[in-house]
Structure 1
Amino acid sequence: MNITVLGAGSWGTALASVLCHNGHRTTLWVRRPEQCREINERHTNVKYLPDARLPEALVASTDLHEAVRDAQIVIFSVPSQAMPEVVRDASPLVQSCDVVAHAVKGFDVTTGQRMSQLILSTKQVGKAQLAVITGPSHAEEVVAGLPTTVVVAAYERATAELLQDALMNPYFRVYTNPDVVGAELAGSLKNIIALGVGMADGLGFGDNAKAALMTRGLAEMARLGMKMGASPLTFAGLSGVGDLIVTCTSQHSRNFRAGRLIGSGFSLEEALGAVGMVVEGVRTVRAAVALAERFHIEMPIANALYDVLFTGKKPSVAVEELMGRERGHEVEEVARELLAPKWDT
């Protein structure tokens, strides 16, 4: 097939590498001419994947029209902050594609839209074409051919399975899921929790604290997801708990590394500068807090992180306040419906 990946960061490059290894005619759209030349001539992308050797058949292009022309599948893989511009420019070109997918874990902070909503808002792409790629998948391991499993979520089964077939190979296993909303929310919100776990590590806290943040963070993710129409089962799967684990524990996780630096005493700006690449969780904190207010749900970890990142609260103070919250049930919604009547009798 003819397949185009828009965005030559680490994840876009890794996906293009997988597709190229699978025998597809793969084009990688890049913004910078020098990066384009590097990929085409040296078959490397040193800034984002310094140890990777890319397939010689992979073609990079800075011309969006040329890159998308004749593509049967187009995959957006740019930072969430760049998505509005890239979607605006690319959408008129992709309306005849069989599948238009995105692999972006974040929100449009200006509108609060999920990435699929942003793509659909152009009116150039329909739900039947749309798919989401998510799951526990660090690009550094994917491009090295290490075993990885991801999820493709789509409104139409045929769309999910077409993309599944295009991506799947012996080291890259792909499952399908009809829950687009849940897959997008899980993939985006776990970055917030990884920031928090990183901060806990930077503060010198142990495994108990990090396990608590991951578990209670998953509860917050699922609480918002269910309110927005997602299935709770999605949060128990690869795009939820699977991605949460890898992002909160891996040396490759930008969100964990940024959080650890902040917990160690760095400012937000210093931490982002030290990481050197986009840390999606920072922008996602703003979006999550706004969504929690809109849907009238509690997200205490997200709120605490917001205060640390944007109001100057010390991480240690935020942890004290989280630990001092009013006592409660572990599974609030279930407890209200099931446990309270039993205990009352």
Structure 2
Amino acid sequence: MSANSRIRPVAKFFFEGDRKFFVKGVTYGPFKPDALGNYLGKPEQVDVDLALMREVGLNLVRIYHVPPRWFLDRCSSAGTRVLVTLPWAKHIEFLRYRKARQEIADAVRDAVTAHAGHPAIFGYLVGNEISSTMVRWLGVRRVTEFIERLIRIGRAIDPNVLFSYATYPPTEYLLPQNVDFCCFNVYLHDQRDFERYLLRLQNLTEERPLILGEFGMDTIRHSQEEQAEMLRWHVDSVVKCGLAGTIFFTWTDEWFTGGQDISDWAFGIVTREREAKKSFYTLKERLGQENSALPHRALSRAPFVSVIICSYNGGRTLG
């Protein structure tokens, strides 16, 4: 992986050079922070996890904190891209206080500066799921413009990576216009409803690549068989509906957030001990092709194709 292999958006998809790059991602961490305040665990465990991810066919990890350099270096060596979610205080009235706005802008600037030019960076999400209540309170337009400002700050520092914002259904109207791609966290467990919503999102996002930033199922409240079956049809639906990729939530049941270890959720593809769940093998079957290849989906029948030609008095020519 080199600086020359950066991913670029082309219409509704991503390309690496002249080859299509289909995002086959998974969220990773956060884990209990170490002495330096990093939330990505130990280097030796990261190496094990990246090797298992590559076995499944995953080519990207989404993380929720600014990573240390060693993490990016290991991802680069493993051929895995990194989508960095930049955290900030979204639960406060951040637009009301100039100091808060400046602190958020500085955090974005510092994060992008720290790793500018690193070949493992796929892109940055300059925010994640600002609550619908907060968006309505502060105003949709003002929040959108603030997100656009954060993107401009990051892009001025590293123009060769991609920038976006991760939204979700309650704020599907929050659509910054200067994003390189659109990212939605969607948890719908009914395939028919899921596909209908994906088609709606395709209309909302217009001519930009659309990916899902989170999608998964808990195996405490559901069985491993249910999780595996849902992720199986999820891949089929994502391909069928023309998305540029998807990111599964999450790699492992090990999860630390809100200052505590989470033990009553188990969304992982592997357990805390890195034992493969049934969904691991399902995804390996669905995704385990060449790194950036689009997963294949069998068609039940050949689709009809309409050819429309605009012509003035061209009947004789067309005939």
**What's the TM-score, normalizing by structure 2?**
0.29
TM-score, structure 1 as length reference = 0.27
User: Counting strand residues as a fraction of each chain, which structure ranks higher?
Assistant: 2
Higher normalized helix content (fraction of residues): 1
Does 1 or 2 have the higher relative contact order (CA < 8 Å, sep 6+)?
2
